[in-house]
Each structure stands twice: as structure tokens, then as C-alpha cells.
Amino acid sequence: MMVGAANADPAPDAASLKSEGPVQPTKVEDGKYTDKDGTPTYRVTEGGKQVDWSSMSGYLRYNANCIVCHGPDGAGSTYAPSLVDALKHDDYATFVGIVAGGKKDVNASEQLVMPAFGENKNVMCYIDDVYVYLRARSDGVIGRGRPAEHEPKSATFKKAEDACMG
């Protein structure tokens, strides 16, 4: 079951913010959750079955843009590292910096290249979503595969998306 009507902004009060996992959102604005530091975060409920829209959107964007190298569910591949592990040490700013600017391991015997996505709207307009999804994967609150249920996409979220994608 989805929460709320499909066309309405979810507007939960502070008491309803509780999430599974170590990071608790302290604020929700237009369906986007942030932690005490103002960093984007997830909200997962129903025994890991239901996720916020940002996590769902991040799952979809990850599968469209990152899976080819980093493997299903952020778990890593022979070519690119596990992002489930990376988010245990990379903070939000580091993550965004690497995705926008790329990364090249010059010391590896086989050259590993993380492309720069800074000019790619399909990635950068959704960078918070991808971060939030991987953060939840890293914290072990979203399992492998597609989240079963998600909160609706808010009207404001849709507007911001349209503005960013141009």
C-alpha cells in the first residue's frame, strides 16, 4: 500500500519521521528528508519494505547510470568498487565531488576510470536521490533489488525535477 494520495504532497509531522536504520531524519520538506546536519537521507519503514521517494528515484537512477560498472545494488564488480562500502567512509560532499568530477586510479595496474558526470543532467539532477539510496544500502536498511513500496512523488519534487532537466 502506498501512503497518501498519489497526487498529494505528503506532509508528515515530526513524530512520523521515524525511520529504520541508524540515521534518523530530523526534517522533511516536500517529501525530501534530511538528517541533523542537513544532509539528504532516507526514510525506510514497514520492515524495510517502504522507502521515501528519493530512495526510490535513486534506485532507478542508479540502475540507469551506475549499475553497468558498479554492479547491481551498489555491491561492486570486478571493474568498479562497491558503493555500499564506499559510503561507509565517503561523506556527502566527497560523493558528489567524485560523481561530478570523476576519479582515475593511476596506480592500478589496470587503469580504472570513474567518468565525470558533472554535465550529465540525468545524473546530476538526481544526485541527492542516488546518494540517499546508496546511504540506505550502506546502512543495511534497503536490501537488494527493487524496493517494494514507496512514498508518492510530491508535486514540488516534480517541479524541481522539471526545472533542473530543462
C-alpha cell of residue 80: 568498479
Q: Does 118 bind ligand HEC (CB under 6 A)?
A: no
Query: Least distance in Å: CB of 53 to ligand HEC?
Result: 18
Q: Does 80 bind ligand HEC (CB under 6 A)?
A: yes
φ/ψ (deg, to 5) at 107: -85, -20
Closer CB to ligand HEC, 51 or 127, in the complex: 127
Q: Does 83 bind ligand HEC (CB under 6 A)?
A: yes
Q: Which of 115, 118, 160, 161 binds ligand HEC (CB under 6 A)?
A: 115
Binding mask 48-67 for ligand HEC (x = CB under 6 A): -----------------xx-
Q: Does 142 bind ligand HEC (CB under 6 A)?
A: no
Q: Hey, CA dihedral for 138, 140, 66, 62, is it positive or negative?
A: negative
Q: Does 130 bind ligand HEC (CB under 6 A)?
A: yes
